[in-house]
Structure 1
Amino acid sequence: MKLIAKFLGEVEVNEEEIITFNFGMPGFPNLQKFVLLPIDVDLPLAILQSTEQEEIGFVVAYPFAFKNDYLFDISEEDKDELQIEKEEDVIVYSIMTLKDSIPESTINLLAPVVININKKLGKQIVLQDNSAYPLRYPIGHMEGSAK
């Protein structure tokens, strides 16, 4: 199927690539179908694009590339909702807020986007110990990669 992606224009996606967010995303409860669109194979970034509303797309980052000690637990309830059976089923992203320059941009470590890549189920989870990670972590720190 073809869709217009907010940041990438017209793209072709397979129906099998669609990830279902049963409860939508915070602020967008009615949007439940998204696809991950890579920006560049050498960058830890992608677009989480709604297939239901073309103007809704989020730049997401692989958080471990920017904070290598990022660690959190997924609740049993969330594991059940996402049908997670083993750790290898899971991929984690953080939503980015883009600023004028990339080093000034931030990622949301407080509410990671957790995806069961095998079952194509996703959920943005607000971490319960909200003091551990900030909502706006400056990626200029770049702990996980060379500056």
Structure 2
Amino acid sequence: MKINTKYHGEKDIKEKEIVAFVKPIPGFPDEDKFIVLPLDEEGSFFALQSIQNEQLAFVISNPFLFCPNYDFNLEENVADQLELASETDVIVFAILTVQEPFEETTANLQAPIIINQQKNLAKQVILNQSDYTTKHPLFPNKKSVVKG
């Protein structure tokens, strides 16, 4: 099937590539089917592209790439909703808020996207008992350069 995308133009996708959200992402009640498309050659950044709305695409990344100590427990009811049989079924992404300059980009570590890569089921999970924020710096050691 062909879809129009925000960052990739028209794409030909397969039905088996579609990720179905068991509950829509908060704030987007009518969007529950997405596809993950690479944004860079290194495999660090992706677009979580709605297949229903070409203008809706979240920039996402694996949070362990920039926050190696990122850790949380997935509640049993979420594991059941996603039909997770093993930890190896899980892919975790964080939604990024891309800034200009890019070094000021932040990640939402308080609400990761959990995907069962075997069944292509997903859910955004809100971590209530956590020190993680919705605006975690991707590059915490980079300082903004002020030109004068």
Q: TM-score, normalised by structure 2?
A: 0.91
Q: Does the 8 A contact of 1:66 with 1:141 survive in 2?
A: no
Larger radius of gyration: 2
Give a deviation string over 1:79-114, Cα, whole Å, max 9, x none.
000001100000000000011022100010000000
Q: Does the 8 A contact of 2:20 with 2:121 survive in 1?
A: yes
Q: Does the 8 A contact of 2:94 with 2:111 survive in 1?
A: yes
Query: Any runs of at least 4 consecutive aligned residues in structure 1 with deviations exceeding 2 A, and if so which?
Result: none
Per the alignment, residue 90 of structure 1 pairs with: 90
- For 1:92, the aligned partner's letter is V
- For 1:38, the aligned partner's letter is P
1:46 is displaced (CA, Å) by: 0.4
1:140 is displaced (CA, Å) by: 1.3
Q: Does the 8 A contact of 2:59 with 2:96 survive in 1?
A: yes
d(CA) in 2 for partners of 1:52, 1:78 = 25
Per the alignment, residue 69 of structure 2 pairs with: 69
d(CA) in 2 for partners of 1:62, 1:72 = 14
Q: Does the 8 A contact of 2:22 with 2:82 survive in 1?
A: no
Q: Give aligned-pair identity as a percent.
A: 38
- Matched residue count: 141
- What's the Cα RMSD here? 1.1
Give a deviation string over 1:30-55, Cα, whole Å, max 9, x none.
11110000112314110000111111
d(CA) in 1 for partners of 2:21, 2:32 = 5
